[in-house]
């Protein structure tokens, strides 16, 4: 029986798994956007159980197939030739490396592959390589917006998912950059926020001014937080690291902190926040406990004593983005009891997360 999107419930870092959606993944050149789509979505998302079509203009088909194998077995095994049929699957991936990708050709191939081969997921790497001049050649912005408009119409009419990668504009390329990119950084696609169902931006932290020592640290930025906030549009930033052996992103074990300058211009390495352990902030007379939820978002449990003669404490959890949820107002002066109660309340609030103390 043919697998459908509804048959799978994969955990893809930063992405919601759904059909009839247009998803844009953006990064600067060399920002690992292709590795994210292939490693996190195709290899670890589909698990080879639904057909995928990959449009990679100008790429080499065999190189792309080799990359899919590397992502399953790892670079060491691939380079050493120690690969058996038990270690990797021959994924149902249709690779189109046509060097000049026009909109009519793309639409024709999508109709053919969806109708005759049952392809449900289409990956286009990347948006700015698509020739949409027949739609509107007046400006590059209007051309790219119209390409996105066509792709979105295809997802809805055919009940397929299309993921298109995109380059980011020079806005995100400064070596002295102190902020992360947003939807304005997407090259030429000025209407991406309205036309795309999900937007995922990938940023290497080593390009940020105060994080240059973190060479394996990335921000996965969700400008509209489609997947994580029940339709609300606050930005979410997920801290991630890259597995260079199998070439995919995974949740960071700790949040990233800025490096700071010390004497004579030297740089002190970024410190890791204490995670999964209670620590006290004397200046606030409060206790805190940091943990990551199932999507890699950081939360802090706050155990704060209220003002007054009675030992009333407030237990709340606060996301690093600012969202705050009050859990209880217990009366007790037994700190160990309150810590245990706070962790128990947090586990109930996040039932899919294992919150353990070190």
Beta-strand pair 130-131/198-204: unpaired
Q: What is the mean pLDDT of residues 21-44?
A: 92
**Calpha distance 218→252 (Å, rounded):** 9
With a cut of 80, say whether residue 11 has pLDDT above it: yes
Mean pLDDT value across the chain: 82
With bands split at pLDDT 50, 70 and 90, how would you rate the model's confidence at 5? confident
On the 0-12 / 13-18 / 19+ scale of CB atoms within 10 A, 238 is buried
Q: What per-residue confidence (pLDDT) applies to 257?
A: 65
Q: Residue 99's CB: how many other CB atoms inside 10 A?
A: 9
On the 0-12 / 13-18 / 19+ scale of CB atoms within 10 A, 178 is exposed
Q: What per-residue confidence (pLDDT) applies to 211?
A: 65
- Range list of β-strands (E), the chain: 22-27, 52-55, 93-96, 101-102, 121-124, 130-131, 161-167, 198-204, 217-222, 236-243, 248-251, 260-261, 267-268, 278-281, 286-292, 298-305, 313-319, 324-328
With bands split at pLDDT 50, 70 and 90, how would you rate the model's confidence at 30? confident
Q: What per-residue confidence (pLDDT) applies to 160?
A: 95
Q: What per-residue confidence (pLDDT) applies to 169?
A: 81
With a cut of 90, say whether residue 157 has pLDDT above it: yes
47-93 confidence digits (pLDDT tens): 888 999 999 998 888 888 888 888 888 877 777 666 655 556 778 99
Q: What is the mean pLDDT of residues 21-47?
A: 92
Q: What per-residue confidence (pLDDT) applies to 149?
A: 96
Q: Residues 145, 190: contact at Cβ < 8 Å?
A: yes
Q: What are phi and psi of 203, to 5 degrees?
A: -130, 115
**Calpha distance 158→257 (Å, rounded):** 44
86-127 confidence digits (pLDDT tens): 556 778 999 999 989 999 999 999 999 999 999 999 999 989
Q: What per-residue confidence (pLDDT) applies to 158?
A: 95
Q: Residues 98, 73: contact at Cβ < 8 Å?
A: no
With bands split at pLDDT 50, 70 and 90, how would you rate the model's confidence at 251? confident
Q: What are phi and psi of 186, to 5 degrees?
A: -70, 125
With bands split at pLDDT 50, 70 and 90, how would you rate the model's confidence at 229? very low
**Calpha distance 198→294 (Å, rounded):** 19
With a cut of 90, say whether residue 10 has pLDDT above it: no
Region of 175 please: left (phi>0), alpha (psi -120 to 50) or beta: alpha
Q: What per-residue confidence (pLDDT) applies to 60?
A: 86
**Calpha distance 147→168 (Å, rounded):** 17
CA distances from 100 to 108, 110, 217, 272 (A): 14, 16, 34, 46
With bands split at pLDDT 50, 70 and 90, how would you rate the model's confidence at 294? confident
With bands split at pLDDT 50, 70 and 90, how would you rate the model's confidence at 280? confident
With bands split at pLDDT 50, 70 and 90, how would you rate the model's confidence at 272? very low
Prediction pTM value = 0.71
Most confident option among 20-34, 248-262, 311-325 = 20-34
Over the range 126-159, which residues count as b (16 or more CB within 10 Å of their CB) and which as e? bbbbbbbeebbeeebebbbbbbbbbbbebbeebe
| DSSP symbol at 331 | B
């Amino acid at each position: 029986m043919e697998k459908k999107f509804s048959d799978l419930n994969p955990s893809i870092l930063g992405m919601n798994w759904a059909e009839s959606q247009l998803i844009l993944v953006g990064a600067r050149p060399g920002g690992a956007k292709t590795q994210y789509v292939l490693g996190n979505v195709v290899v670890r998302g589909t698990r080879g159980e639904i057909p995928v079509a990959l449009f990679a203009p100008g790429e080499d088909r065999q190189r792309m197939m080799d990359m899919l194998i590397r992502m399953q077995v790892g670079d060491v095994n691939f380079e050493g030739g120690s690969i058996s049929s038990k270690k990797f699957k021959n994924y149902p991936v249709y690779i189109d490396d046509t060097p000049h990708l026009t909109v009519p050709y793309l639409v024709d191939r999508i109709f053919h592959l969806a109708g005759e081969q049952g392809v449900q997921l289409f990956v286009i790497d990347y948006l700015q390589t698509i020739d949409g001049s027949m739609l509107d050649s007046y400006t590059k912005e209007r051309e790219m917006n119209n390409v996105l408009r066509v792709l979105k119409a295809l997802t809805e009419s055919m009940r397929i998912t299309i993921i298109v990668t995109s380059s980011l504009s020079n806005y995100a390329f400064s070596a002295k950059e102190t902020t992360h990119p947003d939807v304005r950084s997407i090259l030429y696609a000025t209407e991406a926020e309205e036309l795309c169902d999900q937007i995922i931006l990938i940023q290497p932290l080593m390009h940020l001014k105060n994080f240059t020592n973190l060479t394996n640290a990335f921000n996965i930025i969700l400008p509209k937080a489609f997947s994580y906030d029940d339709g609300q549009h606050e930005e979410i930033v997920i801290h991630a690291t890259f597995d260079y052996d199998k070439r995919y992103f995974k949740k960071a074990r700790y949040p990233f902190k800025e490096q700071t300058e010390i004497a004579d211009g030297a740089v002190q390495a970024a410190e890791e926040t204490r995670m999964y352990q209670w620590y006290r902030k004397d200046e606030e007379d409060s206790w805190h406990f940091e943990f990551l939820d199932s999507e890699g978002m950081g939360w802090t449990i706050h155990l704060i004593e209220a003002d007054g003669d009675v030992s009333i404490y407030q237990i709340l959890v606060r996301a690093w983005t600012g969202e705050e949820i009050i859990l209880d107002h217990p009366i007790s002066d037994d700190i160990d009891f309150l810590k245990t109660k706070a962790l128990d309340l947090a586990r109930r609030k996040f039932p899919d997360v294992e919150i353990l103390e070190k």
